[in-house]
Amino acid sequence: MADDVKALSAELAQDPDSLVFLRLGELLRHKGQLDAAHRVALTGLERHPHLADAHDLYARILADKHDFERAFDEWDMTLRIAPDHLGALKGLAFLYFKVGDVPQAAAHLEAAQRVAPDDPGIAQALALAHGGEGGAGPASAPEPLAPSPAAQPLEEARVFAGLEGAEEGLLLLDPAGRVLGGALKDPAGRDVSDAVAAYLAGVSQEAGRTAKLLGLGTWTGLAAEGQHGHVHLTPPTGSALLLVVRERAVPMGRLAIIAQRAAVAARRWLEAQA
Amino acid sequence: MTAAPAGYGRVLDLVTRVRGVRGAMLVAGDDGLVVAEQLMEGIKGPAVAALAASLASRLRRAMEAAGLGAGQFWHLQAEQGALLVVPAPSGVVVVAVAEADVNVGLVRLELLRAAEAVG
């Protein structure tokens, strides 16, 4: 097996963009070399940030390291990229079991079973969730397995009505990284709203934790300069997140003003929805 | 302030000499560990470093997905202060903790110089 690691490592070194990192990371994980697996998975993710299997691998490693919160984030991300990803559905079911949320665990297992109806492991876990043959499992009755309600339909065009960039550079998100309104396009004109929203899930909480840890009070904004454009994030309410993106020619100070105006519109819209 | 290892001290000095800066750190971007620090007493360097690295990582992914390329500077604004970050080419992240009324433009310039010096 050491030879396998050596061979896969060599293959990856020869072609760093290769997907062989998935096999190498999994092999290292199986061998219990979690730190090495972690490094391989992270490097792979940097090169393939939209690859569902890469997020799934990273999540499994994090779960093995008992970093369940981040594992949850990664499996959640996996499902945003690939909603029928079997590994992520099973992984999230596992995490829901761990925290005692049996209905959610069962719902994810049901979804997994739809993807892989012949998987005996899923059937066994479902039986456990239902307090059936597994015996030792939770005995609570299953919730009706209705699909989780999707985010409310958007009415997104109205959120930022009248504001510059309403349909290409303003995005309103919920804490779980779902788009509430607005839209975002990349420089090539492709709609990247969902992908960017997914990556920003949890940013509001992390920014809040960081500010609190530093004794800085409530966070009010997060501005970032990129090679091809600028970003301004602001929390229009306690939980929602507003993203404003503009090209580099727009100075950061002006971006902050645009963000303030958009935040007022977003706050008003959110209050109207409540 | 707590001391930084020799070699990094001058780099951090570039940042901490700016009025209103309460401290500066070099953080390994991939694992969020502190490489060197010059912080005012009471700032929990390792915890701040871990959160800053995590935030930087999330932002980087989001910006890449948005087609904006690599992040070059970011600024967390809060009621009573700010956290300012510049990634160095090596993957090390230069972090400054500052008062709310700090000259952000000046700190940004010094962070960029520090990142260049770190390489």
Domain locations along chain B: 9-118
Query: A16: how many CB neighbours lie within 10 A of its CB?
Result: 11
Q: What is the pLDDT of residues A254-271, one digit of tens each?
A: 888 888 888 888 888 888
Distance CA A200, CA A203 (A): 5
**Model confidence at A151, in pLDDT bands (50, 70, 90)?**
very low
Mutate one of A214, A246, A248 to test the B interface: name it (highest B CB count within 10 A). A214
Report the half-sphere exposure of B117 (CA within 13 A, side-chain side): 17
Domain formed by B9-118, architecture = 2-Layer Sandwich (3.30)
For residues A243 and A266, the answer to whether their CB atoms sit within 8 Å is no
* pLDDT at residue number A168: 80
Single pTM value for the model: 0.59
For residues A44 and A25, the answer to whether their CB atoms sit within 8 Å is yes
Q: What is the pLDDT of residues A107-139, one digit of tens each?
A: 889 998 888 888 777 888 888 777 644 433 333
For residues A165 and A158, the answer to whether their CB atoms sit within 8 Å is no
* pLDDT at residue number B5: 56
Q: Which residues pair with B36 in a beta bridge?
A: B26
Among A108, A76, A82, residue whose Cα is nearest residue A198: A76
Q: What is the pLDDT of residues A216-250, one digit of tens each?
A: 899 999 999 999 999 999 998 877 899 999 988 88
d(CA B44, nearest CA chain A) in Å: 8
**CB-CB neighbors (< 8 A) of A215 in chain B:** 42, 80-81
Burial of A61 (0-12, 13-18, 19+ CB in 10 A): buried
Taking a contact as any Cβ pair under 8 Å apart, which residues of chain B between 68 and 97 contact chain A? Answer: 68-83, 97
* pLDDT at residue number A84: 84
Query: Hey, what domains does chain A have and what are their CATH numbers?
Result: 2-129 (1.25.40.10), 156-273 (3.30.450.30)
- Across the range B90-102, mean pLDDT stands at 92
Among B17, B33, B34, residue whose Cα is nearest residue B25: B34
**CB-CB neighbors (< 8 A) of B76 in chain A:** 207, 210-211, 219, 221-222
* pLDDT at residue number A48: 86
For residues A56 and A74, the answer to whether their CB atoms sit within 8 Å is yes
**Model confidence at B61, in pLDDT bands (50, 70, 90)?**
confident
d(CA B75, nearest CA chain A) in Å: 5
Is some CB atom of chain B closer than 8 A to the CB atom of A165? no
Which positions ≥6 away from A255 have C-beta within 8 Å?
A: A223, A230, A232, A244, A246
